[in-house]
Structure 1
C-alpha cells in the first residue's frame, strides 16, 4: 500500500493527530512521546518474534513464561491502540482520497488485515476459552506480528513499490515462467513415465522436476534416462536461462527507478526545509530591525 502524504494536509491536522501519524510512520520526525510510542511498537514486534524461538524450548523456568505472557498482553493492548491510530490517521496517509475511503482502504488492505490479526486473537483469548488447536496457533500469530516490521525497513518498502508499479510486467514474466514449467512437466511425464513409472508417476512429479531444473536446484532425485527426455531437459535448461533473467531485469530496472525517485523526493524535502528555515530567519531579522 503506497502512501501519498500531503504535507499541507498534514500541517492542517491537529497537533495530536499529526504526532500520532509521525509515531506510526516516521517516529524520528515526531516529539518525544511519538518517538517513544513508535520505538516501543518496534521493540514489541521484535520481542514477539523472539518469543517464537523461546517458546519452542521446554523446561524453562516459570518466570520466563510469566514474563512472556505479560509482554503478550501488553503487546495486544499496544497493537490495538496502534490499529485505532492507523485507522484514524489513514486519511493523512492517502492525500488523494477522502477520509472515509482512505480508512476503508486501510482496513481492507493486506497490512490492515495483518494489524488486525496482531491483536484480535489475543483479545478473543481473554474472553473465550481456547481449544488446543488455537493454543498451538499462538506462535503463528507471533510470526504474523513480525510482518509488521516491514514498515520500518526502507528496503522492503521499496520492494513493495516496485511490485506495485511494475506489476503488469512482473505478472507477464511469471506467466511465461509458468508456461515453460507446465510445458516441460507435461512433456517430461509423457516421455519418462513409460520407462520410469515409479519416479515420474504423475504430471505433478514432472512439474517438480521442471521447477528444480529451471531454478538450477537439481536435487538429482529425478533424472531423465531416455534420449528424448534428456533433449527435453536440455531445452528446458537453455530456455530457463532467458526466462529466469526476465524478472531479474524487471526488478533491477524498477529498483533503479525507485531509488532515483526516493533521492529526488529527499532532495526536494531538504530543499523545502532549508527554504522554510531561511524564511523564518528573515522574518526574525525583520522583527528585530523594527
Structure 2
C-alpha cells in the first residue's frame, strides 16, 4: 500500500493530480488579487482553505508513504511541501501576518517534481555547470564594459546634462539599460559624441546578448546528444 502510494505521488495519477491542483491554485491566487473580484473574497477564502486542507493531507500522506521519511523531510521538495502548507496558520487566523502568505507560492516549485520537467531542469543545470567557466569570464567582461560605458557616457553628457548624468554611479543605470537594449528613456544622450557612443554601446550590447544564449544552446545540445548515445 505504501509503495503504491509513493509511486503514485512520484510518477502516477496522484503526481499528475497534484500538478493540476498547483496550477489551478496559482491561477486562483492571481485572480484573487484583481480588484473586480474583491466582492468574492469570502468565496476565495473558503476555496483557499480547501486547497490548504488538500495540500496538508498530501504532505502527511507523502511522509507516511516515503520509504525513507527523514530523507524526504529534509529534502528540497520535502521542505517546499512543508513551507507551502505553513500559511494555513495565517489564513485560518491563528497568526495574523498577511505578508507571510507569499509563502503559498512555494507550491509552484511542486511543478518541478514532474518527471519530465525535473529531467529538463537537471539537463539545464548540467549545461550551466559545463559552461560555468565561460559564463564567469563573460560576466567579468560585462561588468568591465558596463563600467567603461558609464565612464564614457558620463564624459560626453555630464556637462550637457549635469542633473541626469551627475556621476558615474548614476551613469551606470544608463549603461545597464542600454546594454540590455531596454532603454527606459529616463536618461538619453543629447550631444553628438554621446549619441555616437550610445550607438556603439547598443551594437556591443546586442552582440553580448547572443553570447550566453549560444553557450547555453551549445551545451544543451551536447548533453542531449550524450543522453541519446547512452540510450542506444
Instruction: Find out whether 1:141 has 2:83 as its counterpart.
Output: no
2:219 to 254, 257, 267: 254
Q: How does 1:1-290 map to 2 (within 5 A)?
A: 16=2, 20=6, 22-25=7-10, 27=11, 35-56=12-33, 57-60=37-40, 62-79=42-59, 81-82=61-62, 88=68, 103=71, 107=74, 113-122=79-88, 124-125=89-90, 129-131=94-96, 134-138=97-101, 140-152=102-114, 153=117, 154-265=119-230, 267-268=231-232
Distance 1:264 1:178, change over 3 A: same
2:165/2:171 contact within 8 Å kept: yes
Q: Give the direction of change, closer, same or farther, for the CA distance of 1:126–1:252 in structure 2 (3 Å limit).
A: closer
Q: TM-score, normalised by structure 1?
A: 0.64
Specify every segment of 5 or more residues in structure 1 that has no aligned partner in the other structure, as ranges. Answer: 1-14, 28-34, 90-99, 269-290
Unaligned runs of 5+ residues in structure 2 are: none
Deviation at 1:256, TM superposition (A): 0.6
Q: In the alignment, is the contact (CA less than 8 A) between 1:177 and 1:244 conserved in 2?
A: no
CA distance in 2, matches of 1:194, 1:107: 59
Q: TM-score normalized by structure 2? A: 0.77
Which is further off, 35-44 or 200-209? 200-209
What is the rounded CA distance, in whole Å, between the counterparts of 2:64 and 2:169 in structure 1?
A: 46
Larger Rg: 1
RMSD of Structure 2 on Structure 1 (CA) = 3.4
Q: Taking structure 1 as reference, are residues 70 and 224 closer, same or farther at Cα in structure 2, changes over 3 Å only?
A: same
* CA displacement at 1:113 relative to structure 2: 4.8
Quickly say closer, same or farther: Cα 1:173–1:148, change in 2 above 3 A: farther
